[in-house]
């Protein structure tokens, strides 16, 4: 399988009043062409910052991001803008990401105009073809974002991201601002486009059921770090990290009569500003021991392809 994105030791820190916020801390992973990597975690865990850093919308602090073999942290501006055509971003809130003064036509045409090399007729053909692909009626071509509902606005956002025919798309909570009834339509649209064009997605969400439905692999983040990483089926069948177990226990069961053993996390969330040399989850973990408070656990492969960041993963799971 062709590896499309390879990320090594990626860090994104922000200065905060003389201290340092570790938003993304030492993340390593790769994705193959046509796969979807689901990234989950509570808000503030750094998943959106990581998504933006992958596309160089935030400059990384250190680490490498190889897209089709090119390290985008090192390329010059010209090369970066060429690569950007192949790497796109779908935002959570289409309303704030779309220009309110642009019609549907202008919104979809603009990336082609900026990229250059297309005649007026070609642009028109591509805009209408994309409207058909994302399920926007052609009669809406001259409407503005505020005249459309959330689902249609997200279809424009997807069309704009896809119009340059990228290979790799970071989808940052693309359905969380939408009504539940519309969410499935948008997810199915993304899946249809992926199947047709062999697209690769990083899909950021706090919704574990969405991620289970669409992802090939799942990365669980906690306070800027990866705490568990595995193929989707493996992660759901053999959840190993205490934090992932708590997240999964909060997902409502489809059977309303089934007994739900929800794990309630107590304790203070550790600050991501100058975090201590310990497990960042230790203040909320019921298995925490002295070692957890004194040493950062390494992310270790405990089963083939299944990585966990916990000193006591074997003992907790009786492996």
CB of 230 to ligand SF4, least distance (A): 16
| Residue 130 in the binding site for ligand SF4 (CB under 6 A) | no
Q: Binding of ligand SF4 at residue 310 (CB under 6 A)?
A: yes
**312 counts as binding ligand SF4 under rule CB under 6 A:** yes
Residue 118 vs 312, nearer CB to ligand SF4? 312
Residues 6+ apart with CB under 8 A from 189: 134, 135, 155, 158
Q: Which residue, 184 or 319, has its beta carbon nearer to ligand SF4?
A: 319
Among residues 41, 157, 272, 297, the one that binds ligand SF4 under rule CB under 6 A: 297
Q: Which is nearer to ligand SF4, 190 or 218 (CB)?
A: 218
Contact between 41 and ligand SF4 per CB under 6 A: no
Our CB check for ligand SF4 shows the closer of 108 and 292 to be 292
Instruction: Report yes or no: 227 and 308 within 8 Å, Cβ to Cβ.
Output: yes
| Least Å from the CB of residue 238 to ligand SF4 | 16
User: Which string of x and - marks every residue 215-244 that binds ligand SF4 (by CB under 6 A)?
Assistant: ---------------------------x--
Query: Closer to ligand SF4 at the Cβ: 210 or 220?
Result: 220
> Is residue 299 at the binding interface for ligand SF4, with CB under 6 A as the rule?
no
Tell me the per-residue interface mask from 247 to 286 with ligand SF4, x by CB under 6 A, - otherwise.
--------------------------------x-xx--x-
User: For residues 105 and 287, which CB has a smaller minimum distance to ligand SF4 in the complex?
Assistant: 287
Binding site for ligand SF4 (CB under 6 A): 242, 279, 281-282, 285, 287-288, 292, 297, 310-312
């Amino acid at each position: 399988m062709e590896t499309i994105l390879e990320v090594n030791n990626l860090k994104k820190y922000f200065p905060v009043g003389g201290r340092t916020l570790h938003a993304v801390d030492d993340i390593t992973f790769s994705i193959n062409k046509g796969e979807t990597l689901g990234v989950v975690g509570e808000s503030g865990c750094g998943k959106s910052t990581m998504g933006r850093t992958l596309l160089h919308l935030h400059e990384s602090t250190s680490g490498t991001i190889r897209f089709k073999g090119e390290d985008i942290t090192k390329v010059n501006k010209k090369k970066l803008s060429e690569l950007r055509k192949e790497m796109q971003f779908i935002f959570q809130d289409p309303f704030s990401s779309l220009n309110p003064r642009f019609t549907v036509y202008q919104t979809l045409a603009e990336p082609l105009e900026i990229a250059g090399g297309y005649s007026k007729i070609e642009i028109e053909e591509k805009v209408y073809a994309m409207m058909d692909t994302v399920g926007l009626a052609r009669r809406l071509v001259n409407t503005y974002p505020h005249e459309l509902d959330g689902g249609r606005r997200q279809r424009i956002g997807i069309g704009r991201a896809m119009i340059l025919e990228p290979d790799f798309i970071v989808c940052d909570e693309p359905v969380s601002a939408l009504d539940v009834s519309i969410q499935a339509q948008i997810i199915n649209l993304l899946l249809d486009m992926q199947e047709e064009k062999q697209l690769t997605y990083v899909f950021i969400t706090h919704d574990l059921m969405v991620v289970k439905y669409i992802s090939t692999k799942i990365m669980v983040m906690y306070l800027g770090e990866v705490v568990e990483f595995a193929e989707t089926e493996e992660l759901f069948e053999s959840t190993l990290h205490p934090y992932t177990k708590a997240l999964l226990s909060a997902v409502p069961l489809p059977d309303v009569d089934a007994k739900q053993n929800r794990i309630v996390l107590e304790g203070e969330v550790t600050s991501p500003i100058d975090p201590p040399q310990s497990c960042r989850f230790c203040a909320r973990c019921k298995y925490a021991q002295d070692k957890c408070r004194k040493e950062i656990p390494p992310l270790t492969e405990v089963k083939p392809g299944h990585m966990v960041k916990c000193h006591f993963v074997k003992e907790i799971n009786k492996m």
